[in-house]
């Protein structure tokens, strides 16, 4: 995690829910900046923006974009899980490495939880990798109050488990 000297300061981001065509490039840049994701994963992140642009809320994809000091600093994408009542997925949460460690991720997760609860959601699920590189990500979810619901061995690739987290939000 890259942290600036002011990393002990917690940020108060401006959040935006609307999605614009320019967000395709913003999402691509944010996801690429982390250095965590493969090219095919980056394409999926951008595809979700495309789906939202083409289908609107009917896409099932909701977005929150976080801005700090008039600069885009992160985003989250979440939506209801098909064929469930009250269960939602947090598909993506990405914070620009320059802004990590300052509460922006927690602000995004909290804002998603509030919106999901207001929409009648009761439980939020998050999936991530079990690779050592993702240890800070898993620690972040734990700090946000999530618990491991399942681990699927070699799911993404050999030696790359899928870790499913969950939290009751209502």
Kindly list the domain boundaries of the chain, sorted by start residue.
14-168
pTM for the complete prediction?
0.91
Task: Report in angstroms the alpha-carbon separations of 110 from 43, 47, 83, 92, 150.
Answer: 26, 24, 24, 14, 22
In this structure, what token pair is assigned to residue 152?
């699927």
Domain 14-168 homologous superfamily, CATH? Gcn5-related N-acetyltransferase (GNAT) (3.40.630.30)
Task: For the chain, 170 residues long, give each residue's pLDDT as a single digit of tens.
Answer: 444 434 446 678 899 999 999 999 999 999 999 999 999 999 999 999 999 999 999 999 999 999 998 899 999 999 999 999 999 999 999 999 999 999 999 999 999 999 999 999 999 999 999 999 999 999 999 999 999 999 999 999 999 999 999 999 98
């Amino acid at each position: 995690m890259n942290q600036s000297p002011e990393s002990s300061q917690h940020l108060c981001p401006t959040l935006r829910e609307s999605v614009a065509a320019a967000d395709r490039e913003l999402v691509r840049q944010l996801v690429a900046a982390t250095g965590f994701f493969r090219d095919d994963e980056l394409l999926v992140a951008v595809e979700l923006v495309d789906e939202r642009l083409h289908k609107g809320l009917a896409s099932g994809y909701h977005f929150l974009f976080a801005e700090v000091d008039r600069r885009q600093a992160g985003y989250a994408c979440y939506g209801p899980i098909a064929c469930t009542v009250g269960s939602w997925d947090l598909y993506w949460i990405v914070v620009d490495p320059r802004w990590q460690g300052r509460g922006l991720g927690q602000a995004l997760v909290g804002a998603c939880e509030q919106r999901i609860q207001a929409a009648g959601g009761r439980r939020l699920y998050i999936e991530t990798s079990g690779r050592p590189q993702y240890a800070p990500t898993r620690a972040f979810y734990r700090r946000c109050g999530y618990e491991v619901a399942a681990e699927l061995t070699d799911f993404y690739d050999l030696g790359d488990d899928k870790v499913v987290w969950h939290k009751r939000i209502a």
